[in-house]
């Protein structure tokens, strides 16, 4: 009798989770999918992936946001310029092993377009906020066929690379939302400027449209020469990697309990570093750049 009650309890629990759209896993395979109203939650509960509508818009997008703070803050959007106008969206893995977003179960709105095909593809949301596509048959769980960190939106997260993969030609840059209701890229972007043919010293730039709005100056091994105010701090460490394979800027947290992000703000034309203040339940400005734009 006790066993029957236990089985019924488990069945009712899973039925409740299914009906209410709650997530109990951080990954899914080709036999599963994410529909509008259901979500993925990273293993430690740091991030959540699902469908959302920004600002006053009724359009639906697939995005990633912080799970453990009360202010919904989206850090990545899949279909930035291809919104869905109803709740028919479905995120699934297709026959070629790519992650695809379908509209009304037939039209492909967005896809990872990975050229590598997995034997057993699986999509996983990591506690870094990185959404990854990998082969479950691969013994190395950190070998990714595709990852959202390679295609950032307006936010640079800890552990994310800003810059070039010279082996593949991949160029990672962040771009502001067009406005609060529209995550499609505006004209305010940041990335790494580098000319591999001329072997120039790379630096980080901010563009407004096609005009160079701000540049950091070359990296001297400690900081960028144009930003002498950048100093080691207790919040995060930063580095600039420059070799034959990659050229990128990266930062990592010194204290894992701190929640911080770099975000491009189209309205103010600023790149803001924000930290979460749990006491005030609000984002606080830690730093802003540029202080002065380019001449």
**Would you call 275 helix, strand, or coil by DSSP?**
strand
Indicate whether 190 and 145 sit together in one domain: no
DSSP state of 140: -
Query: 59: how many CB neighbours lie within 10 A of its CB?
Result: 17
The answer as to whether 166 is a domain residue is yes
Tell me how many domains the chain contains: 2
Instruction: Count Cα neighbours of 248 within 13 Å in the Cβ-side half-sphere.
Output: 22
Angle at the Cα of 23 (from 19 to 24), degrees rounded to 5?
115
Cα separation, 177 vs 55, in Å, equals 12
**Residue 162: its pLDDT value, please?**
96
Cα separation, 259 vs 238, in Å, equals 16
- HEC profile of 28-46: EECCCEEECCCCEECCCCC
Indicate whether 164 and 275 sit together in one domain: yes
Indicate whether 162 and 144 sit together in one domain: no
What averages of pLDDT result for each successive group of 10 residues across the chain (295 residues)?
49 41 77 96 97 98 96 97 97 95 92 89 97 91 93 97 93 96 96 76 86 81 68 84 92 92 92 94 90 50
CATH of residue 63's domain is 2.90.10.10
The answer as to whether 164 is a domain residue is yes
Integer CA distances (angstroms), 268 to 54, 70, 183, 290, in order: 19, 24, 16, 11
**Residue 112: its pLDDT value, please?**
96
Q: Which domain holds residue 29?
A: 20-151
**Residue 140: its pLDDT value, please?**
82
The answer as to whether 3 is a domain residue is no
The answer as to whether 6 is a domain residue is no
**Residue 77: its pLDDT value, please?**
98
Cα separation, 131 vs 177, in Å, equals 20
């Amino acid at each position: 009798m006790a066993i029957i009650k236990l089985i019924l309890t488990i069945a009712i629990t899973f039925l409740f989770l299914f009906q209410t759209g709650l997530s109990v896993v951080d990954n899914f395979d080709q036999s599963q999918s994410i529909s509008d109203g259901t979500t993925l939650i990273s293993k430690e509960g740091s991030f959540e992936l699902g469908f959302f509508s920004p600002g006053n818009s009724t359009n639906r997008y697939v995005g990633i946001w912080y799970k453990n703070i009360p202010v919904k803050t989206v850090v990545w959007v899949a279909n930035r310029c291809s919104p869905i106008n109803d709740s028919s969206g479905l995120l699934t893995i297709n026959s070629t092993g790519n992650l695809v977003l379908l509209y009304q179960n037939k039209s492909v709105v967005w896809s990872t377009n990975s050229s590598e095909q997995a034997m057993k593809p699986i999509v996983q949301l990591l506690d870094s906020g990185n959404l990854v596509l990998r082969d479950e048959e691969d013994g190395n769980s950190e070998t990714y066929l595709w990852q959202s960190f390679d295609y950032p939106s307006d936010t640079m997260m800890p552990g994310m690379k800003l810059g070039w993969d010279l082996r593949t030609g991949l160029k990672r840059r962040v771009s502001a939302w067009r406005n609060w209701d529209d995550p499609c890229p505006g004209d305010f972007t940041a990335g790494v400027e580098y000319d591999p043919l001329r072997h120039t010293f790379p630096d980080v730039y901010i563009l407004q449209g096609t005009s160079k709005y701000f540049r950091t100056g070359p990296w001297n091994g400690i900081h960028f020469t144009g930003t002498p105010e950048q100093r080691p701090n207790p919040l995060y460490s930063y580095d600039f990697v420059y070799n034959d394979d990659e050229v990128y800027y990266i930062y990592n947290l010194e204290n894992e309990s701190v929640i911080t992000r770099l975000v491009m703000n189209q309205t103010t034309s600023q790149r803001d570093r924000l930290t979460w203040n749990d006491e005030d339940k609000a984002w606080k400005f830690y730093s802003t750049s540029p202080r002065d734009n380019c001449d």
